[in-house]
Amino acid sequence: MDFNFTPDQLALKKMAQDVAAKEITPYALEMDHKGEIKPDLIKKLDEAGLINLVVPEEYDGPGLDALSIALIYEELGKACAGVATTIAANALASYPVILMGNEEQKKHFFEVINSGKLAAFALTEPGAGSDAGAVATTANKDGDHYLLNGTKCFITNGGMADIYVIFANTRKSAGIRGLTAFMVDRNTPGFSVGKEEDKMGIRASNTCELILDNVRVPETNRLGREGEGFKIAMKTLDAARPLVGAVSVGIAQAAFETAVKYSKERVQFGKPIASFQLVQAMIADMAMSIESARLLVYRACWLKDAGLPFAKEAAMAKCYASDAAMQVTTNAVQILGGYGYIKEYPAEKYMRDAKIMQIYEGTNQIQRLVIANQILY
């Protein structure tokens, strides 16, 4: 693995840093308190070229490699994990189309994203979280259409997207072998957005329930064949997991910098608290966790970009980096003491934002299963 980044990768990282410093960081606490993204921010992120990062060049996107995307997500995660999650959901919804979409499907889907619109990936249901194969939403054939019925929950960008990738069962008795993926436009009759969740963290992102009531989807919107949905979902999650790791590294880095700065300024017993060895040990541990997490993320991306197997490393990157983010942000709150616990300072937001990284796109218990399966079988 080459530890030197290309000039293009460094330029992208700098661009993301500049956009974050100007458009995201100054508003992060306000968006968190309000529980919504700043109304004009999506447009600004689109103008900066950050909405369609995974869209291939042949479909007028930047077609970036995974490592470049990770560098960008790290900066966005540092600025506001809720905003990073909004953008990451576009990538998550794009992967099934990149993997299985035909020419027409890719043209349609990427045209939507290239025009600055949002997309959503809808797999999770009230009864199908870790057990992704337990999807109860049905897709019954009706001539050259399917009728989709069911409810999806916890869908990032659910209330804001224009296009969705929805997983439904075309053959209920077949379990995971009945799962099928569909592209669904928001304006399809029968499709509606249900309740919006009021969340602990990543509050700038939008998380909604989706209701499918006889949604008539043309056969031409089916991604891949009937029954291929589970594998499409698994491959999508493989691709997305290092990027959850990258956002986690960003959150941890932000919390770390806040804690280091504070430890040099805060005077107790006549000295800055940074001069006390117990604080220094915390800072050293935080730095080691962040650096290890970052290397795991970069390595998973590097393997993916090299066309090598990366599922195990993707799960490791997601799991380790999000656990590190939880630990580092908790320690940052500890170092800031009372100031860490109040909403006027960013430390408590980092801790709340870090928690979801251990839960979404596969809980860290599932990541450990995936890693163990790769090692044992």
Work out how close the CB of 30 gets to ligand COS at its nearest, in angstroms, rounded to a whole number: 27
Q: Which stretch binds ligand COS (CB under 6 A): 142-150, 157-165, 242-250, 361-369?
A: 361-369
Residues 308-327 that bind ligand COS (CB under 6 A): 311
- The answer to whether residues 246 and 320 touch, using CB atoms and an 8 Å cutoff, is no
- The answer to whether residues 171 and 226 touch, using CB atoms and an 8 Å cutoff, is yes
Work out how close the CB of 360 gets to ligand COS at its nearest, in angstroms, rounded to a whole number: 6
Site membership for ligand COS, residue 110 (CB under 6 A): no
Work out how close the CB of 89 gets to ligand COS at its nearest, in angstroms, rounded to a whole number: 9
Residues 244-283 that bind ligand COS (CB under 6 A): none
CB atoms within 10 A of CB 141: 11
Q: Residue 150: helix, strand or coil by DSSP?
A: strand
Work out how close the CB of 266 gets to ligand COS at its nearest, in angstroms, rounded to a whole number: 39
Catalytic residue set: 361
Site membership for ligand COS, residue 132 (CB under 6 A): yes
Measuring CA to CA, which residue among 44, 129, 50 is closest to residue 91? Answer: 50
- The answer to whether residues 106 and 54 touch, using CB atoms and an 8 Å cutoff, is no
Q: What is the 3-state secondary structure (H, E, C) of 174-237?
A: HHHHHEEEEEEECCCCCEEEEEECCCCCCCCCCEEEEEEEEEEEEHHHEECCCCCHHHHHHHHH
Written as one letter, the residue type at 87 is I
Site membership for ligand COS, residue 365 (CB under 6 A): no
- The answer to whether residues 336 and 273 touch, using CB atoms and an 8 Å cutoff, is no
Q: Which stretch binds ligand COS (CB under 6 A): 191-199, 218-226, 333-341, 359-367?
A: 359-367
Site membership for ligand COS, residue 89 (CB under 6 A): no
The overall longest dimension of the chain from CA atoms, in Å, is 79
Whichever of 108 and 177 has its CB closer to ligand COS, that residue is 177
H-state helical runs in the chain:
7-19, 28-34, 41-47, 66-79, 81-100, 103-114, 229-265, 277-305, 311-336, 338-341, 347-357, 364-376
How many chain residues touch ligand COS (CB under 6 A)? Answer: 19
Residues 228-247 that bind ligand COS (CB under 6 A): 230-231, 234-235, 237-238
Site membership for ligand COS, residue 137 (CB under 6 A): no
Using CB atoms, what's the residue nearest to ligand COS?
362
Site membership for ligand COS, residue 362 (CB under 6 A): yes
Please tell me the distance from the alpha carbon of residue 80 to that of residue 82, in angstroms, as a whole number.
Answer: 5
**Per-residue contact flags (x/-) with ligand COS for residues 148 to 187, judged by CB under 6 A:** ----------------------------x-----------
Site membership for ligand COS, residue 136 (CB under 6 A): no
List contacts with ligand COS (CB under 6 A): 123-124, 130, 132-133, 176, 230-231, 234-235, 237-238, 311, 360-362, 366, 369-370
